[in-house]
Amino acid sequence: MSRRNAVAGASLSAYDSIFGGTDEEVMSSEVAKEKVEGQIVEVPLNELHEFKNHPFRVIDDEKMAETVDSIKEYGVLVPGIARPRPEGGYEILAGHRRRHASELAGKETMPMIIKDVSDDEAVLIMVDSNIQREELLPSEKAKAYSMKYEALKHQGVNGGRSLDKMAKEAGEGAKTVQRYISLSKLVEELMKLVDDGKLGIVQGVDFSQLTEEEQKILYVVLRDMKCSVSTEQSGKIKEIAKAGKFTRESVLGVLVVVKPKVRKVTFNAKKLDSYFDPTMTNEDIEELIIRLLDEWKERGGVD
C-alpha cells in the first residue's frame, strides 16, 4: 500500500471511529479528537458547513468550471481545513470553493484536515487561506481584514502591531490595510458602489466616518444624481458630518457644482483686416477693441 493510501486509510478509520459503529465501539470525544486532529479525513459534503460570516464569494465562474473538471479527473488534490462544530458536522476554514466544486462534480465526500482551534484561530486560518486571491472585491478584503484585525486584538496584539502584521502577511502597506478596515463600516449600498467602481476607495473611507443614517441619506443623493464624487468633495462631506451639519441639502451643496458659462467669441481675420492698419500687432488690435467696447459700455451699451 502506498504512503498516500495508508494515510487515507488511517484517516478514514479515525473518521469511522467517531461517526460509525455502535455506542460500545465509539471512543470518548476527547480521545476521538486526538485521533483525528491534523489528519486527512474524507468528510461527507453534507457535514461541511460554511464559515460563519464568510466574507468571500463562491461563484460559478470560469475558474470554478476549471476546478470542477479537475476534481472530476483527479479528485481534490489539496485537502481543505475544517474544525468540529459543537452542534455536529464541521465548519470549513479553508476550502469553500473546493467543496462547492466537489458538489458540482458529483462527489459525496471531500478530503479535509481537521483542526480543533479557537474562534480567533479559525478566523486567522480562514482569512489567510483566501486573502491572496487576485480577483477579490474591495468588500471582501474589507470584511476579511476587519475580522482578522479583531481576532488579533482578542489574542492580545495591539492595534499598530496588528496592522503591521496583517500588512506583512498580505504583502500590502499598513495604510492600505487600514483603509480596507475602514471600508468595512460602509453600509451595503455604498459598499456596492465601491465594488462596482462607481465610488473610489479614498472616497469610501471618507464616507465610512459618517453614521449609518447619514450614509443612507448620502446613498440616495448619489443614486438620484448619478454623479461621481471627487476626493475633495468626499472630504468636504466628511467635515460637514464631523461638524454636526450633515443634511441632504448640505450634501447637495457640495455635489452640485454650477459651472459658469464660458462665452467664446471668434473673429474672421479677413473681416478684421478691413478695419485695422496692417502694421498693427495683435496686442494693438486687442487693446483698441477693448477701448472701443469700454466707450460703448459707458454710453449704456446702446448705439
Q: What is the pLDDT of residues 82-92, one digit of tens each?
A: 999 999 999 99
Q: What is the pLDDT of residue 285?
A: 73
Q: Which of the pair, 300 or 193, is modelled with greater confidence?
A: 193
> Three-class SS string for the chain?
CCHHHHHHHHHHHHHHHHHCCCCCCCCCHHHHHHHHCCCEEEEEHHHEECCCCCCCCCCCCHHHHHHHHHHHHHCCCCCEEEEECCCCCEEEEECHHHHHHHHHCCCCEEEEEECCCCHHHHHHHHHHCCCCCCCCCHHHHHHHHHHHHHHHHHCCCCHHHHHHHHHHHHCCCHHHHHHHHHHCCCCHHHHHHHHCCCCCHHHHHHHCCCCHHHHHHHHHHHHHHCCCCCHHHHHHHHHHHHCCCCCHHHHHHHHCCCCCCCCCCCCCHHHHHCCCCCCCCHHHHHHHHHHHHHHHHHCCCCC
Distance between CA atoms of residues 52 and 90, nearest Å: 12
pLDDT mean over 150-178: 88
Is the Cβ–Cβ distance between 207 and 234 less than 8 Å? Answer: yes
Q: Which of 18-27, 197-206, 263-272 has the highest mean pLDDT?
A: 197-206
Read off the pTM.
0.72
Residues 95 and 140 in one domain: no
Q: What is the pLDDT of residue 15?
A: 42
Q: Which of the pair, 198 or 160, is modelled with greater confidence?
A: 198
Residues 68 and 85 in one domain: yes
- Domain membership of residue 56 (yes or no) is yes
Residues 99 and 149 in one domain: no
Residues 128 and 107 in one domain: no
Q: What is the pLDDT of residue 253?
A: 94
Q: Is residue 16 scored above 50 in pLDDT?
A: no
Residues 138 and 223 in one domain: no
When pLDDT is cut at 50, 70 and 90, the band that residue 245 belongs to is very high
Residues 46 and 108 in one domain: yes
- Mean pLDDT for the chain? 85
Residues 109 and 9 in one domain: yes
Residues 179 and 218 in one domain: no
Q: Any idea which of 100-104, 151-155, 197-201 has the lowest mean pLDDT?
A: 151-155
Q: Burial of 195 by CB count in 10 Å (0-12 exposed, 13-18 middle, 19+ buried)? A: middle
Distance between CA atoms of residues 219 and 233, nearest Å: 14
Number of domains in the chain: 4
Residues 159 and 212 in one domain: no
Q: What is the pLDDT of residue 26?
A: 40
Range of the domain at 130: 118-184
Is the Cβ–Cβ distance between 233 and 253 less than 8 Å? Answer: no
- Domain membership of residue 55 (yes or no) is yes
Q: Is residue 12 scored above 70 in pLDDT?
A: no
pLDDT mean over 9-27: 42
- Domain membership of residue 247 (yes or no) is yes
Q: What is the pLDDT of residues 168-213, one digit of tens each?
A: 988 899 999 999 999 999 999 999 999 999 999 999 999 999 999 9
pLDDT mean over 141-159: 90
